[in-house]
Amino acid sequence: MNPTELRAGISLAGVFGLRMLGLFLILPVFAVHAPRLSGGDNLTLVGIALGAYGLSQAILQIPFGMASDRWGRKPVIYLGLVIFAAGSVLAGASSDIWTAIAGRTLQGAGAVSSVVVALAADLTREQHRTKIMAMIGATIGLAFAVSLVAAPVLYQSIGMSGLFFLTGALCIAAIGVVKGLVPEAPPPAPRPADAKRNEVLQPELLRLNLGIFVLHLVQMAMFVVVPRLLVEAGMPLPKHWQLYLPVVLISFVIMAPPIWYADRRNRPKPVLLGAIALLAAVEVFFMLGESVLAYGAALLAFFVAFNVLEAMLPSLVTRIAPAHARGRAIGVYNTTQTLGLFFGGFAGGWLAEHYGATAVFAACAALSALWLAAASAMRPPGAPVNELSRATL
């Protein structure tokens, strides 16, 4: 990568990391804290609060992406980060579950994920795009790791309100990173006269959209129940970081070789299918596990699969989507991602309340198997339409 690409990758990964750290700081502790809120003893409402920002993101990802195609990436990113910070303040001031849901919904209205990914694609050449997406994905994973370590400690010292206020401050810091460090984007690509209106709904993009929906549904549904399972297995909440931190850090090391292989050999399909199969197997293992050690092994496998898929999926979207509609295509992609977050929180909470944690993992396993079946028909970028080259696959 040239210096501009490297600078773009590091700075945009930092923006993503600051924003996702704000989101993830809530995840490890909110389900345990929720009973202290009025109405917070209802697990379904707790799940909605965890996933509510996904619903508003799903509504606004495409408009934000289209706006960035027309008016530029950076102004739209600034607007989204300000909205997210406002939602953090509202959630921090909440004393009941419904106000917390409203704050999380307003957080999600700052739907800039698609714009940040589109800007990263604008500033990098195609042969380096998987590396850039891997940097962003690794930063998301690192933010998750930091949140798992820091959230219980911060919760003990500043409370849930302080955590929400901290998320708002992190978003303001992200604005400074965008303004001071991220290179200027090239002018938006012109739309060809013969461009089709449904070009962002081609089958290969739809497969990727299904994948990110399932991935984030599984993530959110799992963390409705995993913190409580660890507590029940004998690990108190303040000690959860002792499990999460080594698991996530080791997963970064394990994820690197398959990402390198997919990128250097241009063989994304076998790596993608392997990661999806691992995701499905993890959910089965969670159903069988009963000890902290078993849950730790399952979490390690989950984060390996999650980090590989987080790096590969957006890279494939930017390679398949036409340049003039990249923001719109990533907007559709991120819409399905955030719908996964919302439905994962809702379904995870509802299933846990009515049928228990085993039902949550069984549903996640079934959806992962459905994704594996759909992805098996994938045509990698550059492969012929009618006949797939064995060298490519």
Q: In this predicted model, what pLDDT tens digit does every residue of 339-382 receive, in sequence order?
A: 887 888 888 889 988 899 999 999 999 999 999 999 998 876 65
Sign, Cα dihedral of 383, 203, 370, 296? positive
Local confidence band at 391 (pLDDT 50, 70, 90 cut-offs) = very low
pLDDT of residue 367: 96
Residue 34 CB contacts under 8 Å (≥ 6 apart), including other chains: 40, 41, 45, 46, 49, 97
Provide the whole-model pTM: 0.72
CA distance 217 to 360: 11
**Residue 249 or residue 87, greater confidence:** 87
Local confidence band at 173 (pLDDT 50, 70, 90 cut-offs) = confident
Is the pLDDT assigned to residue 82 strictly greater than 90? yes
Report yes or no: 43 and 349 within 8 Å, Cβ to Cβ: yes
What the chain holds in terms of domains, given with CATH numbers, is: 3-182+200-375 (1.20.1250.20)
pLDDT of residue 6: 83
pLDDT of residue 302: 94
pLDDT of residue 320: 81
pLDDT of residue 275: 95
Lowest mean pLDDT among 105-119, 130-144, 203-217: 130-144
Is the pLDDT assigned to residue 277 strictly greater than 90? yes
Give whole-number Cα distances, 266 to 228, 272, 292, 309, 348, in Å: 41, 12, 38, 15, 36
